[in-house]
Amino acid sequence: MRFVVECVVDRVHRATHGADGSADDGNAVVEFIGVTLVLLVPLVYLVLVLGRIEAATFAAESAAREASRVYVRADTAEQGDGAALASVELALRDQGFDDDAAQALDLVCSADPCLTPGAAVEADVSIRVALPFVPHFLRRAVPLEIPVEASRVAAVDEYRAAG
């Protein structure tokens, strides 16, 4: 009878403590949380950073394209400047960036005056994407921004009246 009791106790001990006799009281939960923190948090941060860079790419591309288009369709250079700045500001705001449109846009003309028939107008847009969740005191010490740039060229219609 004593042998049967010892066998039952041994089986219960193995079932609760494992075959090697070590206790796993909650270690799986701790290991899961540790692995999750080590792998999942950096992965989520990487997805956030890549999302902001992709948004900046969309904003810069559409801002440069529309700025060059509206500039060459304007009647005067002053109207073209205003329309190009407005289109850049709209494209940046659409993707959630609050950069100054006047600093982000650079217009380069191939002729003087800029709207000479047959000339080309190049719009260069540059945006700086700050890494998310980085404290401001650290940004002042180390530049933690990713530059995103786009450029587009549009031709002034050859058959328009010179203006």
In this prediction, residue 6 carries a pLDDT of 63
Q: Which residues of 35-74 are buried (b: 16+ CB within 10 A; e: fewer)?
A: eeeeeeeeeeeeeeeeebeebbbebbbbbbbbbbbbbbeb
Please state, in angstroms and rounded to a whole number, the distance separating the CA atoms of residues 108 and 121.
Answer: 6
- Assigned domain for 111 exists: yes
Q: Which two tokens stand for residue 18?
A: 């494992």
Q: Would the pLDDT of 13 be above 90? A: no
- Assigned domain for 160 exists: no
- Assigned domain for 147 exists: yes
In this prediction, residue 110 carries a pLDDT of 94
Q: Which two tokens stand for residue 12?
A: 């219960």
Q: Do the beta carbons of residue 98 and residue 92 sit within 8 Å?
A: yes
pTM over 0.85: no
Q: Do the beta carbons of residue 69 and residue 120 sit within 8 Å?
A: no
Whole domain around residue 58: which residue ranges?
Answer: 25-155
Q: Would the pLDDT of 156 be above 80? A: yes
Number of domains forming the structure of the chain:
1
Q: Would the pLDDT of 124 be above 70? A: yes
- Assigned domain for 132 exists: yes
Per-residue pLDDT of 14-72, as tens digits, reads 666 655 555 556 678 888 888 888 888 899 999 999 999 999 999 999 999 999 999 99
Higher pLDDT: 30 or 11? It is 30
Please choose, from the candidates 53, 135, 136, the residue with its C-alpha nearest in 3D space to the C-alpha of residue 96. 53
- Assigned domain for 19 exists: no
What Å distances lie between residue 139 and 71, 134, 136, 142, 144, CA to CA?
Answer: 36, 7, 5, 5, 6
- Assigned domain for 51 exists: yes
Q: Do the beta carbons of residue 154 and residue 120 sit within 8 Å?
A: yes
The residue type at 65:
R
- Assigned domain for 18 exists: no
Higher pLDDT: 6 or 108? It is 108
Q: What is the rounded average pLDDT for all residues in the chain?
A: 87
- Assigned domain for 11 exists: no
